[in-house]
Structure 1
Amino acid sequence: MSLLRSAATISGLTLLSRISGLARDILVARTFGASPLTDAFWVAFRIPNLLRRLFAEGAFSQAFVPILGEARNRHGQDKVKVLLDHVFIVLLYALMLITVLGIIAAPWVVTAMATGMSHSSSDTAFESAVWMTRVMFPYILCMSLVAFASAVLNTWSRFAIPAFTPILLNLSMIAACLLFTGLFGTPVYALAVGVMLGGVAQLLVQWAALAKLGLTPRLSFNIKNAWADPLVRRIIRQMGPATLGVSVAQISILINTNIATWLPAGSVTWLSFADRLMEFPTALLGVALGTVLLPSLSAAHSKQDTQAYSHLLDWGLKLVLLLGVPAALGLALASDALVATLFNYGAFSAADVQQTRLSVMAYAVGLIGILAVKILAPGFYAKQDIRTPVKIAIGVLIFTQIMNVIFVPLIHHAGLALSIGLGATANALCLLVGLRRKNIYQPHAGWLAFFLRLTPAVIILALWILFLQHYMSWTALTPGTINAWINGLLAQLLPPHLNFTLSRLLTLITLLVSCGLVYFAALFIVGFRPADFTRRR
């Protein structure tokens, strides 16, 4: 299977995950609204979710995948299975200890994460947060084992199952909203149970996939023997700086969220909705390419194939530019279309659309940087060099806060988004310079020709978006626009409020589909072909 096809598979399944997540959030809001108890759920859910991002999907995967790939390419199947057994044993017992401690210490953990809930006036919310934290804390155990299974499956080029399983969490929470709320005196508790069921479902599906490959690890009580494995020790040593690197990103998010709370009311919400829009291209392209590249880069490193290593990075960066530049352009020029169509309902006013639009445009400035980091960082991880990206991340954190000092007083919440985008761009540039200086990445010929062909296609797309925007309206039905024309066609079929919603949705679809057709037609005319981006593993 080609890397392009693998990336497309992950992108498609990630899109389903994002859509199901959006449906989940809509249903949660409709079922529980905004109240101290829903705040308690999100606080409780954030605790194991934060640990999952720090250790399971972040640090563990970055440390484990390159070493596993090296073992697979240099040793036999028996050696690989021993490594899997030992890593599983150490991971399982460490997670069980963390889970027990987390359940016992839940009141103190909630107090540290949400000090406002510990006040006497919020006793009910605090107690609910503690109860749900205890119910959901084993989620970190499930998801860490899921990360273990995903790392193995991705190394064996089985990308579909790891990309699919996040959908199960969303479906489980949707089912909890619809079926379980009546089972609890406090209905929101159903969500906590839904999260746990989703974690178990993801683990079972991935464990079944491991069983098909004959790679299911064996449980043993001989922790001492597993701990003595030198490869396990290497993984643990690599996890230290990797955890620090992931922590830097989380610290940056916490700082920016805190700053947003000091800005005009609504700033946090505007940024959150803008961030949700940014997640689509980031996950569909950046995460997908990063996922398929890391095992391939690790294999090239273990074979000392420096030419293949550089070819892989070339391939990833060219795809980022080919698909990321139009995505950034669309977010910047059609931000009002996206924000209004998705969120401009009920209490979310036209003024909110404009404020969110500013955040989206500011984020779009750094989209290429955000995507490029997903390609360039694995260039270090596959070489088992995690310290360099961590040092760069710390420098970028400082740079981002300096940008906040400059931009937030000028453009308020949009300044926070712009600082993140510029920080991501700086991160990508530093990673690229680092790869070049260490002679890890040597770009091959053809980059100038690539840019000369890409530029006219991007210009044509930008002109097309600007042209169509003159004939579309998003927060009101302006006479003579495409929205008004579609609205007139639907007037006899639907009530006015549904008519307006559907006409706006159809107009957005018209915009996106036409932009895709124009851009890919332009790429074909200037000489790009699918075969240019198809790489065999």
Structure 2
Amino acid sequence: MSVAARRSTLGVAGLNFSGKALAVAKTMLVAALFGASGTLDAFWVAYTLPLLLPGVLTTVITVAFVPRFMSSLQGRSGPAAWRGANTLFTLVLLVAVVAAALLWWGADGLVHRLAPGLAPDVHAEAVHLTRLLMPAVPLLCLSSLLAALSYASERFMFPALEGVTTNVIVILAALLLLRSMGIQALVVGVLGGFILQSALLLWSNRRMIRENLRPAAALGHPDFLKPLAHLLPLFVGSAGSVLNSLVNQYFVSGLDAGAISALAFAGMIAGMPVEVFAQAVMTTYYPGLGRSFARRDHAAAAHAHADGLRFLVFMTLPAAILIALLAHPLVVLLLERGRFDAAASTQTAIVLALLAPSILMRSVAYLNYRVLHAAIRPWTQVAIGLVGVALNVVLNALWVNRFGLAGIAVSTTVSATIAALLSYAAARRVLEAPAPRTLRLEMVTLLRMAVALTVPSALALLAMRAVATDWPRPLLALLELGCAVPGLLCAAWVGWRAGQPDLRAAIGRLRPGWAGQ
């Protein structure tokens, strides 16, 4: 990895981590205020719907349209040069407004179809909250467009602030408005955070907006038509990836009250390493992959993929191991307070431990998908994504009644594993160049580090639980989390002795002169 790429990746990862640290604080607050309850289930169901279209459009616009358009500009500017892009942006915002209106009108039917097992009072609350959240659709679509322009210009920092701004506003709204508004305080916080992030992106792109962006309807413009062949499969593939969460919610809605909330809390914690590390790697590596494929330099693309894969595994494999080992103390320490009791902690921790392997698998799959899109093979991702969704549906149907939430978690992990394996095989095929010879050795080193992390941490955890059976739960949870320290030290020693490049680079940034020793 080049110095510039590593610096950009770590910078984005740092902002992502800050946003996720605030997300943890928000989650702790929400858990204490509402517990794992039917009221909070209603909010999670309502929160899902307005994010569907913007979530899909973010991927579509960022990956497919804007990078191609920006490369075709060749330094040109002005509304005439941007007419094709302006047409797309105008169309997206119009679709967002119409979609928000339709979602408001059809909220009752949508909630019933997506979460048919909700109790009548929870269903009614979910419909009400869904309608209140409808302004989020155009707000998020606007942010998606502006963030995509920033990414295309390789300006990553303002889009990466989203987690910071939105979570700060939600926390403030929950603290200040809870007594007067109840669960609706979270709605106010969500909308306020989206408004603030849109305002920041408008300000950071103000010059580009002033000089280039105008409403347009040039549906026959080449810059609008050429990317459509990529946009359609990417839209289908992104929608397919969203389906997994909807499928899980559909099956979980028939379980006890609070099950949706427990799954949401576990998913938030398990998703943090993916969103912090995998998103940073994908964001900073994708432009280089695109340029390599545009030059037909498959060797460079293969090297970038191998470099990104090693860096990604280096960051996410330890996170997956520690979350699997320490799920219960992590949940107790983060969430067990207020209305979130010990039973909710146990339920959430089991789901979290079973979801932990999906951290690595999802991260690997997302990087491989970027390779497929850089190679303009989007339908391959569509096929892989739909296989994962179909497998998730089948396994959920088989396991939800027998194993409950645990069955849903295992189903999610299995489908993520299959997607990772299939996407890696597909990525290797389109790269048309062998992986660097060092990649296998580097992966062996990472596996040795994983063993060195797991064994001491597990032994320390067992010893701690054997001698501290009657200690207060928060203190015991804190001490159990400390059991990761000997494992981390052993893993670092193994990696240092083996010359693991990412570890040495990280230490070198902290202590200049050490990396080359």
- Answer yes or no: same fold by TM over 0.5: yes
Offset at residue 380 of structure 1 (A) = 0.9
Tell me how far apart the structure 1 counterparts of residues 304 and 390 of structure 2 sit (CA, whole Å): 31
Counterpart residue number, 1:527: 499
Contact 2:147-2:201 at 8 Å conserved across structures: yes
Residues 446 and 41 (structure 1), Cα distance of their counterparts in 2 relative to 1, 3 Å cut: closer
Residues 2 and 124 (structure 1), Cα distance of their counterparts in 2 relative to 1, 3 Å cut: closer
Tell me how far apart the structure 2 counterparts of residues 104 and 457 of structure 1 sit (CA, whole Å): 52
Kindly indicate whether residue 388 of structure 2 is the aligned counterpart of residue 388 of structure 1.
no
Residues 68 and 340 (structure 1), Cα distance of their counterparts in 2 relative to 1, 3 Å cut: same
Counterpart residue number, 1:53: 55
Deviates more, 1:317-326 or 1:275-284: 317-326
Offset at residue 216 of structure 1 (A) = 5.2
Tell me how far apart the structure 2 counterparts of residues 511 and 34 of structure 1 sit (CA, whole Å): 28
Counterpart residue number, 1:63: 64
Tell me how far apart the structure 2 counterparts of residues 134 and 455 of structure 1 sit (CA, whole Å): 48
Counterpart residue number, 1:164: 161
Offset at residue 309 of structure 1 (A) = 0.8
Find the partner of 1:102 among 100, 103, 106: 100
Runs of 5+ consecutive residues of structure 2 not aligned to the other structure? 507-517
Tell me how far apart the structure 2 counterparts of residues 3 and 421 of structure 1 sit (CA, whole Å): 30
Tell me how far apart the structure 2 counterparts of residues 531 and 467 of structure 1 sit (CA, whole Å): 24
Tell me how far apart the structure 1 counterparts of residues 332 and 228 of structure 2 sit (CA, whole Å): 47
Offset at residue 164 of structure 1 (A) = 1.1
Residues 88 and 138 (structure 1), Cα distance of their counterparts in 2 relative to 1, 3 Å cut: farther
Contact 1:83-1:232 at 8 Å conserved across structures: no
Name the SS for the 1:161 alignment partner.
helix
Tell me how far apart the structure 1 counterparts of residues 192 and 184 of structure 2 sit (CA, whole Å): 13
Tell me how far apart the structure 2 counterparts of residues 250 and 15 of structure 1 sit (CA, whole Å): 23
Tell me how far apart the structure 2 counterparts of residues 513 and 461 of structure 1 sit (CA, whole Å): 9
Read off the aligned partner of 2:189 and give its amino acid letter. G
Offset at residue 375 of structure 1 (A) = 0.9
- Within a 5 Å distance, the mapping from 1:482-521 to structure 2 comes to 501=474, 503-504=475-476, 506-508=478-480, 510-521=482-493
Tell me how far apart the structure 1 counterparts of residues 82 and 25 of structure 2 sit (CA, whole Å): 37
Whose radius of gyration is greater, 1 or 2? Answer: 1
Find the partner of 2:21 among 19, 22, 40: 19
Name the SS for the 1:443 alignment partner.
coil
Name the SS for the 1:220 alignment partner.
coil
Cα RMSD after superposing both structures: 3.5
Offset at residue 267 of structure 1 (A) = 4.3
Kindly indicate whether residue 214 of structure 2 is the aligned counterpart of residue 220 of structure 1.
yes
Contact 2:87-2:224 at 8 Å conserved across structures: no
Residues 307 and 430 (structure 1), Cα distance of their counterparts in 2 relative to 1, 3 Å cut: same
Contact 2:50-2:133 at 8 Å conserved across structures: yes
Residues 323 and 193 (structure 1), Cα distance of their counterparts in 2 relative to 1, 3 Å cut: closer
Kindly indicate whether residue 85 of structure 2 is the aligned counterpart of residue 87 of structure 1.
yes
Name the SS for the 1:431 alignment partner.
helix
Q: State, as a whole percentage, how many aligned pairs show the same letter.
A: 22
Offset at residue 390 of structure 1 (A) = 0.2
Q: Deviation per CA, 1:351-397, whole angstroms, max 9, x where unpaired? A: 54444333233222333221101210000111232111001111222
Offset at residue 232 of structure 1 (A) = 1.6
Tell me how far apart the structure 2 counterparts of residues 40 and 357 of structure 1 sit (CA, whole Å): 22
Name the SS for the 1:471 alignment partner.
helix
Offset at residue 240 of structure 1 (A) = 1.8
- Within a 5 Å distance, the mapping from 1:126-165 to structure 2 comes to 129-130=127-128, 133=130, 136-165=133-162
Offset at residue 419 of structure 1 (A) = 1.8
Counterpart residue number, 1:478: 469
Counterpart residue number, 1:6: 8
Residues 203 and 216 (structure 1), Cα distance of their counterparts in 2 relative to 1, 3 Å cut: farther
Tell me how far apart the structure 2 counterparts of residues 276 and 137 of structure 1 sit (CA, whole Å): 22
Kindly indicate whether residue 263 of structure 2 is the aligned counterpart of residue 290 of structure 1.
no
Residues 38 and 407 (structure 1), Cα distance of their counterparts in 2 relative to 1, 3 Å cut: closer
Q: Deviation per CA, 1:381-435, whole angstroms, max 9, x where unpaired? A: 1123211100111122223334445555664422221221121111121112222
Tell me how far apart the structure 2 counterparts of residues 166 and 199 of structure 1 sit (CA, whole Å): 10
Offset at residue 287 of structure 1 (A) = 1.6
Q: Deviation per CA, 1:160-191, whole angstroms, max 9, x where unpaired? A: 21111232122222232344568x7x555444
Name the SS for the 2:377 alignment partner.
coil
Counterpart residue number, 1:112: 110
Offset at residue 37 of structure 1 (A) = 6.8
Read off the aligned partner of 1:478 and give its amino acid letter. T
Offset at residue 36 of structure 1 (A) = 7.5
Tell me how far apart the structure 2 counterparts of residues 332 and 370 of structure 1 sit (CA, whole Å): 15
Residues 510 and 159 (structure 1), Cα distance of their counterparts in 2 relative to 1, 3 Å cut: same
Q: Deviation per CA, 1:227-257, whole angstroms, max 9, x where unpaired? A: 3321222334422222211222222222222
Offset at residue 505 of structure 1 (A) = 5.8
Offset at residue 274 of structure 1 (A) = 2.3
Offset at residue 134 of structure 1 (A) = 5.2
Tell me how far apart the structure 2 counterparts of residues 529 and 457 of structure 1 sit (CA, whole Å): 13
Contact 1:66-1:382 at 8 Å conserved across structures: no
How many residues in Structure 1 have an aligned counterpart in Structure 2?
502
Offset at residue 465 of structure 1 (A) = 0.6
Tell me how far apart the structure 1 counterparts of residues 330 and 41 of structure 2 sit (CA, whole Å): 27
Tell me how far apart the structure 1 counterparts of residues 185 and 131 of structure 2 sit (CA, whole Å): 14
Read off the aligned partner of 1:525 and give its amino acid letter. R
Contact 1:44-1:110 at 8 Å conserved across structures: no
Offset at residue 95 of structure 1 (A) = 1.8
Find the partner of 1:200 among 195, 203, 208: 195
Tell me how far apart the structure 1 counterparts of residues 341 and 110 of structure 2 sit (CA, whole Å): 35
Read off the aligned partner of 1:520 and give its amino acid letter. A
TM-score, length of structure 2 as denominator length = 0.84
Contact 2:42-2:122 at 8 Å conserved across structures: no
TM-score, length of structure 1 as denominator length = 0.82
Residues 83 and 251 (structure 1), Cα distance of their counterparts in 2 relative to 1, 3 Å cut: farther
Tell me how far apart the structure 1 counterparts of residues 188 and 269 of structure 2 sit (CA, whole Å): 28
Tell me how far apart the structure 2 counterparts of residues 51 and 447 of structure 1 sit (CA, whole Å): 38
Find the partner of 1:443 among 435, 443, 447: 435
Offset at residue 281 of structure 1 (A) = 1.5
Tell me how far apart the structure 1 counterparts of residues 21 and 160 of structure 2 sit (CA, whole Å): 14
- Within a 5 Å distance, the mapping from 1:388-427 to structure 2 comes to 388-404=380-396, 407-408=399-400, 411-427=403-419
Counterpart residue number, 2:512: none
Contact 1:366-1:424 at 8 Å conserved across structures: yes
Offset at residue 442 of structure 1 (A) = 2.9
Residues 100 and 296 (structure 1), Cα distance of their counterparts in 2 relative to 1, 3 Å cut: same
Find the partner of 2:335 among 337, 343, 350: 343
Tell me how far apart the structure 1 counterparts of residues 431 and 42 of structure 2 sit (CA, whole Å): 50
Offset at residue 105 of structure 1 (A) = 6.0
Q: Deviation per CA, 1:22-61, whole angstroms, max 9, x where unpaired? A: 3334444556778877666544433221221122x23222
Tell me how far apart the structure 1 counterparts of residues 100 and 244 of structure 2 sit (CA, whole Å): 24
Tell me how far apart the structure 2 counterparts of residues 120 and 416 of structure 1 sit (CA, whole Å): 20
Kindly indicate whether residue 170 of structure 2 is the aligned counterpart of residue 173 of structure 1.
yes
Read off the aligned partner of 1:107 and give its amino acid letter. W
Offset at residue 217 of structure 1 (A) = 5.7
Residues 120 and 443 (structure 1), Cα distance of their counterparts in 2 relative to 1, 3 Å cut: closer
